[in-house]
Structure 1
Amino acid sequence: MNPFRLRRTRPLTPTERVLRLRRRISLLFALTSAVGLVAMAVFAVRSDSGRWREQLDHSMDADTSWALGLLETDEEGRLDTGVLADNVNTACPPLTVLLVSDADPDRLTVQHAPAKPCLTVSRGTVLAAGRAAVRADEVRAFDRRTASGAPVRVFAQPFYAPDAAGDEPPQGVLVTVADATAEQARHQRLVWLVSGGCAVLVLLSAAVGHLLSGRAVRPALTALAQQEAFLADAAHDLRTPAASLRTLAETALRGETDSAEVHRRTLRLAEGMGGLVDGLLTRARLMSGTATPARQLLRLDQLVEAVVEEVVEGATEEVAEGVAGKGPTAGHRVRVEAADTVVLADPDLVRRAVGNLLGNALTHGHAPGVPADVLITVAGDGTLTVEDAGPGLPPEVAGALFERFRSGSGSTGLGLSIASWVAHAHGGTLTADRGERGGARFVLRLPTPD
């Protein structure tokens, strides 16, 4: 089986389809611009080509018209070119007088030709131009080349006998030649200039189209990236509690565990999964911008004290249920040093950020088997500091601490990520460094009212 065929038939991902759409939009924009520019360039080149030819033809028409006034006929009606040869330099520009045969209109004879013309064209070229003018019974002009290959313009003007009637054929034709080297060189420079300008403009329009199409599809790519991140978060975080819940159910079915203990563990897993789903949804809303902060004046010190009280009460309930030492707050110490502080923020989002920072300190801010000692400080400038006495921040995760799945083992990895998003959503910051007691110190700064 051909592997390239399999590669071509592979379904495109949503991101690849959006990128392919961007390429098509860029190509369509460039093609549309190219068609318009090429059409304008062709029009400009053709207009210039017709203009310089028209100028040469007008100049040669004036010369041949003046030369016609110098043609005379003798008493027998024969054409006399003596006056023309005596008064006009027919060598430059070359001027040839041809007579039309009465028996055969296509047969032309040379009545006068310059001995040493400044532009040498073949005799056949002169006769062909004259025949064309006689057949059309009007002026004719052609682009030709000299014997040396230089471009020239050949102009033929028929003339008539003095007593000729209106329907009689021409008596002869004057053929003159003009040098077109300068005009064609200038026209060629114009062609190159227009072609180069069109190429540059097409490339510029392609770049602009690529930029505009990139901006147009950027929201779609952002939405797809957020969707993929949310799905990855959900799959990653729900896999472990779901597996634990299934194991617990299988154990209960085999009757290996007390039913009351099964119920308590099931309840804790359900509460944990509920908090996990809530955290995933909050992070997804923050990333997509749908959860805009409902800012209001908020006493940060009171909110922190309420969050700490809820955590302590939760630890007390765990002890009362006979599961002391199993909860994240059992036996730990949390101290609060808060000054009266007013910030401009969303209470729900700030409550979640403070809870996540405190939960992270209680989970990771102590050595195994040793209760955590957490100090929370609230300053009047809107700064909240959560410091523990644990082992500190590992160097390998310090640079990506606020990314998802970076909080360490035993947690979802979303707490610090959500806290960072809350800080940035309010125009604040969340930083982490080493505290004075050797543990980790997180500093959350929120804006204060002016």
Structure 2
Amino acid sequence: MHDIRAIREAPAAFDADLARRGAAPQADQLVALDDARRAAIAAAQDAQTRRNELSKGIGQAKAQKDEARAQALMAEVAALKDALPGLEVREADAAAALDTALAALPNRPAADVPAGADEHDNVLVHSRGTPRDFPFPAREHDAIGPAIGLDFETGVAIAGARFTLVRGDAARLQRALGQFMLDRLSRDHGYEEVAPPLLVRDEAVFGTGQLPKFAEDLFRTTDGRWLIPTAEVSLTNIVREAILSEAELPLRFAALTPCFRSEAGAAGRDTRGYIRQHQFDKVEMVSIVTPEASDDEHERMTACAEGVLDALELPYRRMLLCAGDMGFSAARTYDLDVWLPGQARYREISSCSTCTDFQARRMNARYRAEGEKANRFVHTLNGSGLAVGRTLVAVIENYQQEDGSVAVPTVLQPYLGGRNRLEPRR
């Protein structure tokens, strides 16, 4: 959500930021809606003030035995009493119209975000690791995976397209990956482990920016709750409607959860294999910080995700997304793309974003700075640390052997009882 006061102070700058995201100018319309809201507030306040003045005048008229004046004043009070509910409705409607318009607009990109329309305009920050030189033709995960437990056919038979049954060694490897990621974030990087709700209310998905614009990307239950598309929703809303002390910040949360996405608009994309699923596991990081700390926290969070890839010895690159390729709530986003030798290209495995105060305004999440009386909005950040299913894909492809087996990364071997190789089922 945007600050209407900031828009009023610099409408041209606001429209310029929206233009960087490919959106049409909105400042004039928003200021007009705010003018209507202010006029409605003033009209209601004026009516209430006049009613109070008239009430005093009635008492004075009665004290002076001026019954005619008292009756006239009482008639005017009655008229104002009848008018006030309509004025209050007008005020509420004007405020709702402004809020609705503001809620539909994406966050403003940070000053250092490059211009561009899509992924082709993203900027390489750095790359780490060297892709392995295979002495045999590298295969994709969907060719290797079935022999170790990626059961695509049964998953589809049970639940339909974009569902996979993971069993046997593949299931153990996937569990090991999630546990390793969560252990690393909580043990080495100070994230508090959380087991959050997977079903949330409207207010939660509105707070993080999925509603109202992206409802079709979500799954909804018959009782009106939403299945989380990412644990970002649950974790960020921990501070919803809260007023924190500055001493409590930063807050850092991490969770390993199933995530559910309808993949609306993704028809024909990654229909094979385990890349794009309706249900998948992900380790999510969320930070709640002061505005002054958010840029440093963004770098820290992204480095935490990179550390997982470094430990797994998977080649990857960090990309700074252009303004046109960022998510709705993000002010700046780094994507981490892992090398998949079977596809011979990099694929996204983590996205780390700073959302400034955009989500905090939607959630009314604030803190009281030391020595200040007024409350300030916190800054929120979120990132994948990592997408577990895609990491499973990356491990299978990067650690594949010519005989169809898959070597186990060193850091995962303790989670698999010391095993260093997953043998294919014959």
Same fold (TM > 0.5): no
TM bucket normalised to smaller: under 0.3
The answer to which structure, 1 or 2, has the higher relative contact order (CA under 8 A, 6+ apart) is 2
Is the helix fraction higher in 1 or 2?
A: 1
Q: If the length of structure 1 is used for normalisation, what is the TM-score?
A: 0.25
